[in-house]
């Protein structure tokens, strides 16, 4: 326990050591000293310290490494957003504050609940309603019809639908044992994916499909059925390629973006050029040219990070996402119920898949899909959804800690 606390304190110290110099550099850009930039950095440092200590005291058994990994990621995101546009960073910080409240509420709910029982059928309907709502009310952004404009704010329903999908999946995979009993759940998953494909939200479709397969295999251990699911997913992807022109366009642009540089390939090429110019150590904060990269504050924020901070920081970003995988698996293994284990495993799988899908798209490893980097990219729906998933992971971690504590007290009583 002492080693864990010292390790967490060291990570917190290094995190703050990154934030203050970063905002210090930003305060001196354009040859002028901007005191408000330093104030913004100080506010972020205070917030991270306050949140960490408040969570540590209020929830004794939180997983500190998961929380600190998330803090590093959103701190890096806020630094880059402030460098791009201070107003974007302010909006993101407000969304982060709201997300913190949502995270705490989710932790309390998870800590006190066994599962959501019949509410899961309501969650299924709500998930489908959220995904279908953009077909009627949505507006097209970046080729995908996945945003709803409410006038004073824009909302991406799929960000919240994917959380409900995890909750529904955990329930069905826990309470069903015969294959035939999975039919409603399989149908539900297929409809979710098809709605997203029709809306051209290919990233979210891939995310839900991948999370489904991972959770199904983790819950059932049925290798052949999982491989069959992978085959169906591959067949569905091929069918989508043949049926939908926007899918073919994405693949063709991915194969050779330079041949269509002035059209669909411009974004990919600019992202690759930014990463190449950054090299190992980056060109320096504030010295890059992110303005030439489309959607630089959301989908392509990793290219901005790579250009100005270099491959080194890019690797650190991936390492912190790996922390979610390792700690999430450990929390799931320590869970006292299959339902809690699958909830954590589902959130871990979805956050990990989402991060690697978008990073893979930016570096041209896979065709580009329009999803955000969890905790890093600009977007109120994205940061709120990520914080809720963090709340689920931490809620189960707290529940595990209380169970371990009760078991130790019982053992101590028996020994006496």
Q: Rounded mean pLDDT of 227-255?
A: 82
- How does residue 155 score in pLDDT terms, banded at 50, 70 and 90? confident
SS3 147: strand
The dihedral built from the CA positions of residue 393, 201, 203 and 93, taken in this order, carries a sign that is: negative
- pTM for the full model? 0.92
Query: Which range among 92-106, 192-206, 350-364, 398-412 shows the weakest confidence by mean pLDDT?
Result: 398-412
Q: Which of 159, 243, 211 is nearest to 346 (CA)?
A: 211
| Residue 221 lies in domain | 2-415
Structure tokens at 4: 């864990």
Residue 39 has pLDDT above 70, yes or no: yes
DSSP-assigned states of every residue in 369-401: ---PPTTTSS-HHHHHHHHHHHHHHHHHHHHHH
Q: Rounded mean pLDDT of 332-355?
A: 92
- How does residue 5 score in pLDDT terms, banded at 50, 70 and 90? low
Query: How far is 350 from 118, CA to CA, in rounded Å?
Result: 24
Give me the chain's average pLDDT, please: 87
Q: Rounded mean pLDDT of 225-246?
A: 83
The dihedral built from the CA positions of residue 80, 82, 83 and 87, taken in this order, carries a sign that is: positive
Q: How many domains does the chain have?
A: 1
């Amino acid at each position: 326990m002492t080693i864990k606390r010292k390790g967490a304190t060291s990570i917190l110290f290094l995190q703050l050591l990154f934030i203050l110099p970063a905002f210090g550099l930003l305060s001196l850009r354009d040859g002028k000293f901007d005191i408000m930039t330093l104030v913004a950095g100080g506010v972020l440092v205070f917030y991270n310290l306050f949140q960490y200590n408040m969570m540590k005291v209020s929830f004794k058994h939180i997983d500190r490494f998961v929380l600190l990994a998330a803090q590093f990621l959103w701190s890096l995101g806020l630094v880059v957003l402030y460098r791009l546009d201070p107003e974007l960073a302010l909006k993101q910080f407000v969304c982060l504050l709201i997300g913190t409240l949502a995270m705490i509420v989710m932790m309390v709910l998870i800590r006190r609940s066994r599962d959501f029982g019949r509410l899961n059928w309501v969650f299924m309907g709500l998930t489908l309603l959220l995904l279908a709502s953009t077909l009627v009310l949505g507006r097209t952004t970046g080729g995908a019809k996945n945003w709803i404009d409410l006038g004073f704010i824009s909302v991406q329903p799929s960000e919240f639908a994917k959380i409900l999908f995890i909750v529904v999946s955990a329930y069905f995979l826990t309470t069903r044992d015969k294959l035939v009993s999975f039919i409603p759940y399989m149908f539900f998953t297929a409809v979710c994916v098809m709605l997203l494909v029709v809306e051209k939200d290919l990233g979210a479709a891939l995310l839900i499909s991948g999370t489904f397969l991972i959770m199904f295999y983790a819950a059932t251990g049925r290798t052949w059925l999982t491989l069959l699911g992978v085959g169906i997913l591959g067949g569905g992807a091929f069918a989508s390629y043949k049926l939908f022109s926007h899918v073919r366009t994405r693949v063709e642009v991915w194969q050779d973006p330079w041949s269509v540089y002035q059209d669909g390939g411009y974004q990919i090429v600019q992202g690759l050029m930014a990463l190449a110019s950054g090299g190992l150590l980056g060109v320096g904060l504030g010295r890059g040219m992110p303005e030439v990269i489309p959607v630089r504050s959301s989908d392509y924020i990793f290219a901005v990070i790579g250009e100005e901070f270099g491959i080194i920081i890019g690797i650190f970003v991936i390492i912190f996402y790996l922390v979610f995988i390792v700690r999430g698996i450990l929390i799931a293994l320590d869970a006292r119920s299959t339902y809690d284990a699958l909830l954590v495993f589902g959130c871990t799988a979805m956050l990990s898949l989402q991060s690697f899908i978008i990073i893979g798209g930016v570096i041209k490893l896979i065709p580009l899909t329009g999803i955000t980097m969890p905790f890093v990219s600009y977007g109120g729906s994205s940061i709120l959804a990520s914080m809720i998933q963090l709340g689920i992971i931490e809620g189960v971690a707290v529940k595990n800690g209380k169970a371990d504590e009760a078991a130790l007290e019982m053992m101590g009583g028996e020994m006496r």
